[in-house]
Chain A
Amino acid sequence: MQKTEGEESKAENEEVKQVTLMTSDGVKMKVEISIVYEMEIVRSFIEVNDADHSVPFPLPNVSSHTLDLIIELVKNEYDDEFMKTFSHDELKEVLVAANYLNMKTLLDFIATAIANLLEKKSVEFIRNFFNIVNDFTPEEEAEIRKTNEWVFQDLDED
């Protein structure tokens, strides 16, 4: 992880090309070009413009914390162990960010991770996890649960 705020010597970074990204909370971060290339949204912009990499690329939907996590994940080649240290909120933020940045590999990875987390969990757990409001009436819910009766056996504790 590199906080590169204030450092702007282009010559120094000849060997390792870097792109400056600006997160939603106004933090400017220099990120290796290999990592940036995974972010489809940034990559397409860079390829089209091939311009000054020093101009910060704005990412209004990604916080600096999330971006840090993403960079670390990519650097560690998607390490499961590292991911397990994430909180639920962090997971979701990474998911949303990966979706926004259109990072295919990361998306698959994070989706699988979340899927694993949700496995054998109750409906209420999933609702809390994604912060979803239950808009079923009690009768509707009972009916739907009944048609899916086979799944409501041996679930894990939340």
Chain B
Amino acid sequence: MSPPPWEALNLVATCLDPKTLAIASCVSKSWFSSLSSDHIWKPILATHFPSLTTLPSAVTHRRLFAMGYAAAALRSKGPPKPTLSLGDLVFAVSVSTSDGDVVSGVRPGDGLRMEAAGVFRFGVGCDDAVLREVEEKKVRVTWNVVLRGWGGVFTMVEREREMGLVGGSEGWFWQELPPAGCCSGAVGSAMVGDLKVGMCEVKGGNGVRVDEVSVGILSVVDWRYVSVEDGLRIRQHVKPRFGVLISFRTEINTKRWWELSNIEHSLHQKKAFFTFSYFVPSSSSTFHLMVMATMVSEPACPTRTVHDVASSVSSKWHSSPWKKKPHARLLQCSLRIRACNNSMANNKDIYKQVGLFSLKKKIEDAVLRAETFASTALEMEQATWIKQEEMVRDFDMWDDPAKSNDVLVKLANSAKVVDSLKDMKYKVMVEEAKLINQLAEINAIDCGLYKQAYEASLAVSEILDQYEISKLLKGPFDLAGACLVIKASPNGTHPKLWAEQLLNMYLRWSKRQGYEGRIVDNCPIKNGGINSATIEFEFGCAYGYLSGEKGVHHLIRGSSNESSQLEVSSATVDVIPMFFENSCDLEIDSEDLIISSPSIQGENKRQTDLSVCIQHVPTGISVQSSGERSYFANKMKALNRLKAKLLVTAREQDVASIKSIQKDKIFNPWQEETRRYVSHPYKLVHDVKTGIEVPDLNYVLEGSIGTLIAAHINSRAMS
């Protein structure tokens, strides 16, 4: 039978309900065009959504109805099933007293004892630590919920107040949960995280122990515990706004180790997220800082911290000026790596201390980073390499030897970079991934295996860090070698000793980089210490790395004569680029120069005879060289340094020729503070230019200034 005529169909169409009408419009082309027409849909729309009919809109009525329908469906539908299940959560509670006693418990969400069926209230068992019995005691409790797989950490309750530590006593703690992430946060969530600590007496002994901690979520509206499903929904919606986590505690040889992580959450699309970890062995006062971050682009939220030691450092962190800068990622990553290295060197037990979970997470992070980053970097580098090779082919090498040399050097560099990236990508990464797979499969806590994976991941991260940093070196002299001049402040003997420490720091740094820094000029004094010293770093990018070191370095320490005053020793560092092949072709009028042989306060008589000091009269810049074995060589060297310094100065003042250099604006290393090394009353290295702080003074003085250098390079690249 042939299809019915159109008039009949139209009649049927006007009788159809909107849903069937929409389905019928999918039957064929002609049906679609006739059944989508406004004259069919208008009455339908007018019946269902009268308000939408009056909208002046270019959208068809069929479409309007669909939108109205969808909106209505959404409204009438109940909340969706929570995407989280209890099994996705790990509950961590801790109870600490002001004596430093700590009781904690960690339970997976599905292993919890539900106190009433269907209600979000659970009992979390704690370890059996015995607490001293007292009437009233300040107790601090935290309840954190950790997403399986370390997807996030939420602080449900973090409270401190007095409670009795006697058998049978109970303490209630509660705190309003942050509102769901969608709103400004000005209004509360009307949900309260609730925590009850019950104490019981220890059998036949002194003291009490924590019987059980029960935790739940209460609705303030009716003061009832919410259902499990609602609780999970809340968990889903409340972003980890501020979270402080005491994740795991393990006791090794009666020492207590802590890992504290602090996670700043993402506000809207801009991510602000960092983790600090402090390892605080109770036996010594040193601790290390681990930082991991994606990007910090907004003023961070107020951060709450668990422990005083943590809060002291983190508050400093928050006051530091660079927190608001975007792009902080590279810098912070490198911080993490260095710090880890250090802790590894200090203590082999680090794997146990950190907690295997977070270690695994860190390995995964490194792998992920390498996977996403290395391949694109490799592609890019290979592309430049190919381009350079083409250039070599097209270019007649014999015509311009200087240029061809330059091109060949660049070509070799690219080849080197490509090789290292390839090497990492195809060897280390594959092994890495395998190793971690194995770990996941056997699920065994094998420290040795973790150690291997962790070290491999560190190596990978380091390569990437170096690559990233080297990509940021774009300044005009950044690829040159460097000549670093340290001068002690003339007052007293301490600055001389300090200058020597600085000298050693830079020498060790270059050694860590795999290069040797050559001391060319050294003016030691009798009782130890130096007046001044010059080191030459004859490797590529040395100037790029070190140019941020220019300025005054202060050492702040307790006075030697037992008074409470602090003593400050100062030394300056100046860095001059050193050009390897083609010495700079700057012409200086010899009449502008005053060349002399000054008598340096050195011990070596012969050195004094040969040393050369050159002053450039128009600018007042003076340089000297005394390290070479002949007067002539010293003169040449001094001249080169002068030229380099003039070039840098011209560049700094942004003028085209050295003739336009303004004398009064010339950089004076004594006028710019670079870094403070505080050894008393606490240990801290504070980089004034970037605001970065590293808590381990000795670590820095041993030459680990990579993080500080990276920070400066980053800030240069940003500005």
**Nearest A residue (CB) for B30:** A135
Q: Are B11 and A107 in contact (CB under 8 A)?
A: yes
Given A111-B15, A144-B32, A123 contacting B26 (CB threshold 8 A): yes
B: number of interface residues (CB 8 Å): 32
Residue in contact with A148 in the complex, picked from B12, B28, B66, B73, CB distance below 8 Å? B66
Say how far A95's CB is from chain B's closest CB, in angstroms.
5
Bound-state Cα–Cα, A144 to B24, Å? 11
Q: Are A148 and B15 in contact (CB under 8 A)?
A: no
B467 at the interface (CB under 8 A from A): no
Cβ of B32: which chain A residues have Cβ within 8 Å of it? 144
Residue in contact with A132 in the complex, picked from B3, B7, B16, CB distance below 8 Å? B3
Cβ of A145: which chain B residues have Cβ within 8 Å of it? 26
**Nearest B residue (CB) for A125:** B23
Given A99-B4, A115-B15, A135 contacting B20 (CB threshold 8 A): no
A112 at the interface (CB under 8 A from B): yes
**Which secondary structure characterizes the binding site on chain A?**
helix
Residue in contact with B28 in the complex, picked from A132, A150, A152, CB distance below 8 Å? A132
Q: Are A96 and B8 in contact (CB under 8 A)?
A: yes
B252 at the interface (CB under 8 A from A): no
Q: Are A95 and B8 in contact (CB under 8 A)?
A: yes
Bound-state Cα–Cα, A96 to B70, Å? 36
A102-158, CB < 8 A from B: 107-108, 111-112, 114-115, 118-123, 126-127, 130-136, 140-141, 144-145, 147-148, 150-152, 155
19 of the cross-chain contacts (CB-CB < 8 Å) are A92-B4, A111-B12, A114-B15, A115-B15, A118-B16, A123-B23, A123-B27, A127-B28, A130-B4, A130-B27, A132-B3, A132-B27, A132-B28, A132-B31, A134-B28, A135-B29, A144-B26, A151-B22, A152-B23
Q: Are B5 and A96 in contact (CB under 8 A)?
A: yes
Bound-state Cα–Cα, A150 to B7, Å? 28
Bound-state Cα–Cα, A60 to B31, Å? 27
B348 at the interface (CB under 8 A from A): no
Cβ of A107: which chain B residues have Cβ within 8 Å of it? 8, 11
B386-432, CB < 8 A from A: none
Residue in contact with B5 in the complex, picked from A99, A111, A121, A147, CB distance below 8 Å? A99
Cβ of B9: which chain A residues have Cβ within 8 Å of it? 130
Interface size class on chain A is 35 or more
Mark B424-457 against chain A: 1 for CB-CB distance below 8 A, else 0.
0000000000000000000000000000000000
Residue in contact with A111 in the complex, picked from B14, B19, B22, B25, CB distance below 8 Å? B14
The 9 lowest CB-CB distance pairs between A and B, nearest first, are A115-B15, A99-B8, A151-B22, A111-B11, A111-B12, A123-B26, A111-B15, A115-B16, A148-B22
**Nearest B residue (CB) for A155:** B23
- 4 more contacts with CB within 8 A, not counting A98-B8, A119-B19, A148-B22, are A93-B1, A107-B8, A111-B14, A151-B22
Q: Are B4 and A148 in contact (CB under 8 A)?
A: no
Q: Are A120 and B26 in contact (CB under 8 A)?
A: no
Cβ of A92: which chain B residues have Cβ within 8 Å of it? 1, 4
Cβ of A127: which chain B residues have Cβ within 8 Å of it? 27-28
B17 at the interface (CB under 8 A from A): yes
Interface centre among B24, B29, B66, B70 (most CB of A within 10 A): B24
**Nearest A residue (CB) for B65:** A150
**Nearest A residue (CB) for B66:** A150
Given A132-B31, A133-B28, A136-B29, A89 contacting B1 (CB threshold 8 A): yes
Q: Are B4 and A115 in contact (CB under 8 A)?
A: no
Cβ of B12: which chain A residues have Cβ within 8 Å of it? 95, 111, 114-115, 118
